[in-house]
Every structure is written in structure tokens, then in C-alpha cells.
Amino acid sequence: MGEIHYPYLFNLFDELNYAGWVGCAYRPLGKTVEGLGWAEPLRHRRAGCRQPILTGKGVTFPCRLSPVTVRMSLQPKMRHSIDEYLTLEASTHEKHEYFQGEVFAMGGASEAHNLIVLNIGAELRNQLKGRPCRVYPSDLRVKVSDTGLYTYPDVIVACGKPRIEQPGDALINPTLIVEVLSDSSEAYDRGKKFEQYRTLASLTDYLLVAQDKALVEHYSRQPEGRWLLFVANHTQQTVPIASLRCELSLAEVYLNVDLDVLPAA
């Protein structure tokens, strides 16, 4: 059984897939397994490749070729200051999320994802025209002041005077946030990310939009502070957004999107 020592699992996967160590294509998804760093879950994509096995020694890849065990070296995570993060953002065309000293690269999106973002932004802009609300695409950074998260939602609406924090060009008072789901982001968008978004006093509405089927989940903040869920799952339905006095037609949300083709994660 071969054994490779590697400090960073993302680099490891590049090396394994490129060099053909295991004859199977693997990629890391999700966050962490206690003590193993970036290792959970691991998804296999080629017929004949079985799920990797997480052990105390590392990660074993039981593929058709010789199995390989990857022993993780437990190195402390590198922490960055907000100034370092903002300097990085200013020096590159890539987008990064920042949270508690860690910087996470945000990858590209599928065609369906881009079409849905454009459709939602255009529909909201048309309905909010002439009113004191602005619609922003995914290149505007949002800061969640209570938690220190910096991120880039897919679509943002800010009503009233937008408050842009400097340095950093970060909006701190969004009214509505839309996230288009993918395999790699869905758990985060539904869980920890929404948990942080809810601390934004200005936020009244949060929409989660699937890209492989007609499904929009709308969370609206109620006067007593709880969040009410409305689900639309047919292209003939609409999603009312009472706080903005507008609505989203799923037929418009999914205009030109081929729902029979599953998007890449």
C-alpha cells in the first residue's frame, strides 16, 4: 500500500489526479473532519471508484489500482488580518470569502447558475425601478458586522441609503439576499451562512434557489424575529416578497435554463 504525506488536501488531490496514482478522479467537498483538516466529505466521480476511507492514519483511496493512504500532517491554519484580506482582494480578479482569519477562494459558476442570477437581478430591477432600492450582482461584497464574515452573495437588494464600509467597499445593510445553490455550497448556504446572515438587522428576506430543478425557498423575517419559510416548486408559481412589494415568477427565474441538465458542482 503506497503512502503519501501531504499538508494540504487540495494540493494532494491535484497531484493524485494528475499523476494517476489511484486511477480515479476525486475532489474534496465541504469543510472539515476533526483532526484531518480538509477531508470531508470526499466524493468519487468515476465508475469503479469507491468512497475513500477516513482513518486515524489518514485517508485511504481503495481504487482499482494500488490503494494509497494519505497521511495528513496537522499544521496550524494560517490566519490573516482583515487588512491582508482586503489587500489580496484588491490585487486579484478572483473573489474570496473571509471569516475569522481564514480566506476561502470562491470558484466559478455553471451556465445555469449565471442565467438564474441574471434573471433574478433583471426581474427585481424591473419591479423596483423608481423606488429607493438598488439591485446588485455578485461582485459586491457584503460584510456581516456581528460575525466578521465578508462574502459575495449572488444577488443583493438594498433599500434606503446603502451603507458601504471603507476600506473594502463592503455593503453592511442588505435588505434581501439571494443564493443560488450548488452541490458544494448548499449545506453552507442553508446552515452556517444563513445563521450569520440572520444577524444582519437590515435583512428581511433570504432566498435559496436550486439550479437543477424549479425550487425557490423564501425565508422572510417576521415582526417577532422568527423566520417564515415559503416554498415554490413549479414554474407556474410565484414567490411574493411582501417587504419589497414585488414577486418573483419561477418562469422568469428559470428563463432559458435547461432543468433537465444537472449543473456541475
47 or 58: whose pLDDT is higher?
58
> For 27, which DSSP code?
E
Residue 260 lies in a domain: no
> For 25, which DSSP code?
-
Residue 81 lies in a domain: no
**Domain final position from 72, 96, 120:** 72
Is pLDDT of 5 > 50? no
> For 88, which DSSP code?
H
- Residues 133-154 have pLDDT tens digits of 999 999 999 999 999 999 999 9
Return the half-sphere exposure (C-beta side, CA atoms, 13 A cut-off) of residue 167: 9
Predicted local distance difference test score (pLDDT) of residue 260 = 65
209 or 50: whose pLDDT is higher?
209
C-alpha cell at 74: 496537522
**Domain final position from 52, 72, 92:** 72
Cα(179)–Cα(209) distance, integer angstroms: 6
Residue 21 lies in a domain: yes
If one counts the domains in the chain, the total is: 2
Predicted local distance difference test score (pLDDT) of residue 108 = 81
Predicted local distance difference test score (pLDDT) of residue 82 = 93
Closest CA to 154 of 140, 165, 143: 140
Cα(147)–Cα(231) distance, integer angstroms: 28
Ramachandran angles phi, psi of 194, nearest 5°: -65, -35
Is pLDDT of 8 > 50? no
248 and 191, same structural domain? yes
Let me know: does 242 contact 220? Beta carbons within 8 Å: yes
Residue 180 lies in a domain: yes
225 and 142, same structural domain? yes
157 and 36, same structural domain? no
- Residues 105-130 have pLDDT tens digits of 888 889 999 999 999 999 999 999 99
Closest CA to 215 of 245, 254, 189: 254
The chain-wide mean pLDDT, for the chain, equals: 78
C-alpha cell at 219: 425565508
> For 166, which DSSP code?
T
Number of other residues whose CB lies within 10 A of the CB of residue 187: 15
Mean pLDDT of all residues in 187-198: 96
243 and 147, same structural domain? yes
Is pLDDT of 220 > 80? yes
Predicted local distance difference test score (pLDDT) of residue 93 = 87
120 and 230, same structural domain? yes
163 and 54, same structural domain? no
Predicted local distance difference test score (pLDDT) of residue 168 = 85
Let me know: does 151 contact 197? Beta carbons within 8 Å: no
Residue 18 lies in a domain: yes
Predicted local distance difference test score (pLDDT) of residue 78 = 78
130 and 50, same structural domain? no
Cα angle 219, 151, 248 (rounded to 5 degrees) comes to 35
Domain with residue 136: its CATH number is 3.90.1570.10
C-alpha cell at 28: 474534496
| Residue 42 belongs to domain spanning | 2-72
28 and 134, same structural domain? no
